Amino acid sequence: MSNKISSKSICERNNISMSENYKEYCMKFSNEELKKNMVEYLIKNSWDEKMIRFLSEDGDEIEIDSSKEIGTIVFDGNDENLFINFYGIHTSIFAYNVEMMFIDEDSKGTYTSSDVYNNVVYEGNLREMSHEEMLRMFSEIILCFIDAETVTMTQSSVPENKYKKYNYYEPHEFLVEVKNGHTIEKRNIYENITIQY
C-alpha cells in the first residue's frame, strides 16, 4: 500500500488554507498548537498517552499546559528512541538512529553539508503550509514508527533541477525503512522522503 502525501493533499483533506504569511521562522509553534494539532491527533490515532513526555528548551520535564515553551516531545516514555525537537528555524524528528530534518527554506542557504550529513532532509515547501498542516504531517510521519524495532535510511541522488539547490548542500531522495513486525507493509511518501513500514 502506498500513499503520496503532500502539503496540498493534507490541505484538501482538512479544508485548510494553503499559506500563512510568516514574518520569522515558519516553525515557531505554541504549546497550544502542539497540543491541539499533534498530541491530540496522535492520541486519537491510537498513540499511548502515557508514553508522551514534554521537555522544555532547557531539557526540564514539563506539562503540556506549562507556561514554559515546549522544546521536545518524546513519544516512547523513558526509552527516548522516538522524539521531535522544535528549533523554530527547523524541526527534527529522531527515530532511533535516523534524524529527519524539516528546515525553513528561507534559511536553507545557511545549512552546510556537515549540518545535514547522514540526515534525511525534507525538500517540500514548508512556507506554503499552515502550522496545522505542518504539525499534521509531522504527526503522520511519527505514526509510521508505531512498534518500530529498527529504522534504517538509504539516500539516493535526484535528477538535476528536481529540487531547488542551496548554497552548501545537495538535495537527495530518502528511503526510511521501519522494521516493526507488522504483517502488512505500508509506504507513505512526503515529497522526497519515502517511509516504508
DSSP per-residue string spanning the chain: -EEEE-HHHHHHHHT--S----SS-TB---HHHHIIIIIHHHHHTT--GGG-EEEETTS-EE-TT-SSPEEEEESSTTS-SEEEEE-BSEEEEEETTEEEEEE-TTTGGG-BHHHHTTSEE--S-GGGS-HHHHHHHHHHHHHTTTT-SEEEEEEEE--TTSS---SB---EEEEEEEE---SS--EEEETTEEEE-
Tell me: the pLDDT tens digits for 32-88?
999 999 999 999 999 999 999 999 999 999 999 999 999 999 999 999 999 999 999
The model's confidence at residue 21, banded by pLDDT at 50, 70 and 90, is confident
Summary mean pLDDT of the chain: 90
Tell me: the pLDDT tens digits for 22-41?
888 999 999 999 999 999 99
Domain that holds residue 98: 2-196
Please determine, for residue 135, whether its predicted confidence score (pLDDT) is greater than 80: yes
Number of domains in the chain: 1
Q: What is the pTM of this model?
A: 0.88
